[in-house]
Structure 1
Amino acid sequence: MTETQTMKTPRARRLLRHVPLIAVLIVAALGALTLGDTLSFDTLRDNREALMAFRDAHFAALVLIFIGIYVAIVAFSLPGAAVASVTGGFLFGLALGTAVNVVAATAGAAAIFLVARWGPGQALSARMETSEGRLQRLREGLREHEISVLFLLRLVPAVPFFVANLLPALVGVRFWNFLWTTALGIVPGAIVFTWIGVGLGEVFARGESPDLSLIWEPYIIGPILGLCALAALPIAVRMLRGGKEV
């Protein structure tokens, strides 16, 4: 191998690390353009009898198929995550539906986290480790309040789910902390969407569509915001005591 080839190899490897994330972004873009009308409540309403019949005949298989589809939706940031969550309640009830939704969403989030971490996240995290000044303070603050920040990303409804998956991977968050905070942090929202799905049959029977704006009702958003405040409390206390800048 020549010296030129030897010098090019590390760079080629670095570029290769970006391929999986680029593939995810391409699939996400194609999905946004082609699947917008496919993964919808209209599709669910039109196929509900077939789904219910398949569930009654092949319950375990449907659970596995549903998890696989949901993982793909999250991992590739495809449209339809809210529809999938509601469908979980429609097919499996509140308890099992919530559990299935949380497991599938967490697995999909873990997949895209690892893809992003293996690609640009590794280089960016290494750069932050050796940086100085404000970027170094930001990294130190994130490490000190990593759990609180991760919970906030999951609990604040205004933060898109894919952002909460990608951002931690890019700034060097520990994978285990990301995994368990995701699993716990999405539970409140999962319960709400699954609960909507439990009564979906009656909604369809009346010729109506599910009202996902329910999550913004005071009795729903209030407790979620309370959890946000609880997650932010350690950060606020540290700042009030004159701790490090976050």
Structure 2
Amino acid sequence: MSSEKSHSKKIILHGAVIMAVVGILSFAVEHYGEGHLSAITAWIEARGNYAPLLFMVINVVGMVLVIPQTLFTVVAGVLFGAVKGTAMCLASMAVGSSISFFLGRFVLRGRVFKKFRHDPNFMKMEMLSRKHPIKVLALSRIVPVVPYSVANYLWAATGVRFLPFLIMSVVCLIPETVFLTAGGHLLSSGVRMGTVDWEMLAVLAVAAALIYLLVRAVQRSLEQDSNEIK
């Protein structure tokens, strides 16, 4: 039970720290930069679909280059709102994960094996994926042992098929993505307008609770699979 709590707390705490950093920067840009945050969001709204597309391209490139995605997700909530930000981030994850997977399988597989073949996390991932590929894919996304962007390349080096990889890589990140974009939206409304979006605060709380419940469930499932192998 303590392990389950530590994993869920780690995920939520990591997101909260990123939100705090983004919040401080947003406050500084808005209040000490003569309303620059409001100017940026107004510019984005005036650009129509161009700005979201540009942001998604940058996000995809960052994922392929193994740059942590948490910051991108919170910023998406700040600049585009929770609903649009979530959709943009999930779409970016689908594209970025696909590119990383194909690079890892057909271009960089030898390098990945050379670097990680003795890594205990990779060895366990490869072993479990032979028996329970869908379940282990879900486990690795909900309870990340290694960063999301790195895991894309590790999964490519295993025998898992592309379609299950893609589906689990996107679906299992929905609660965390909603949590981070909702937090970004709350920061934006609080910094720019000095108000609290209570509906979005409720969404944030529900997403955090869902993360906790999912982590608890997958941790128990992972323990059962480990016991089967032993």
| TM-score tier after normalising by the smaller chain length | 0.5 to 0.7
Give the distance between the partners of 2:188 and 2:149, measured in 1 at CA.
29
Preserved contact between residue 113 and residue 165 of structure 1 (Cα < 8 Å): yes
Task: Report the secondary structure of 1:59's partner residue.
Answer: coil
Alignment of 1:176 onto 2:172: no
Give the distance between the partners of 1:183 and 1:177, measured in 2 at CA.
10
Preserved contact between residue 121 and residue 169 of structure 1 (Cα < 8 Å): yes
Preserved contact between residue 37 and residue 192 of structure 2 (Cα < 8 Å): no
Preserved contact between residue 94 and residue 195 of structure 1 (Cα < 8 Å): yes
Partner of 1:223: 210
The offset of 1:108, in angstroms, is: 1.2
Partner of 1:148: 135
TM-score, normalising length: structure 1: 0.62
Which of 44, 57, 60 does residue 49 from structure 2 map onto? Answer: 60
Partner of 1:116: 104
The offset of 1:152, in angstroms, is: 1.4
Alignment of 1:190 onto 2:177: yes
Partner of 2:64: 75
Higher relative contact order at CA 8 Å, sep ≥6: structure 1 or structure 2?
2
Relative to 1, partners in 2 of residues 1:181 and 1:122: Cα closer, same or farther, differing over 3 Å?
farther
Structure 2 residues without counterparts, runs of 5 or longer? 1-21, 114-121, 195-203
Alignment of 1:99 onto 2:87: yes
Alignment of 1:204 onto 2:191: yes
TM-score, normalising length: structure 2: 0.65
Which of structures 1 and 2 has the bigger CA Rg?
1
Relative to 1, partners in 2 of residues 1:43 and 1:116: Cα closer, same or farther, differing over 3 Å?
farther
Deviations 1:77-136 (A, max 9, x none): 235x323211211232222211111111221122112111113427988xxxxxxxxx99
Relative to 1, partners in 2 of residues 1:139 and 1:153: Cα closer, same or farther, differing over 3 Å?
closer
Task: Report the secondary structure of 2:107's partner residue.
Answer: helix
The offset of 1:164, in angstroms, is: 2.0
Preserved contact between residue 74 and residue 181 of structure 2 (Cα < 8 Å): yes
Deviations 1:32-83 (A, max 9, x none): xxxxxxxx7738936523422222212211121111111111111235x323
Q: Equivalent pairs: percent with the same residue?
A: 26
Structure 1 residues without counterparts, runs of 5 or longer? 1-39, 126-134, 208-216
Aligned residue identity for 1:82 = T
Preserved contact between residue 148 and residue 232 of structure 1 (Cα < 8 Å): no
Relative to 1, partners in 2 of residues 1:244 and 1:62: Cα closer, same or farther, differing over 3 Å?
same
Preserved contact between residue 71 and residue 104 of structure 1 (Cα < 8 Å): yes
RMSD: 3.6
Give the distance between the partners of 1:167 and 1:220, measured in 2 at CA.
27
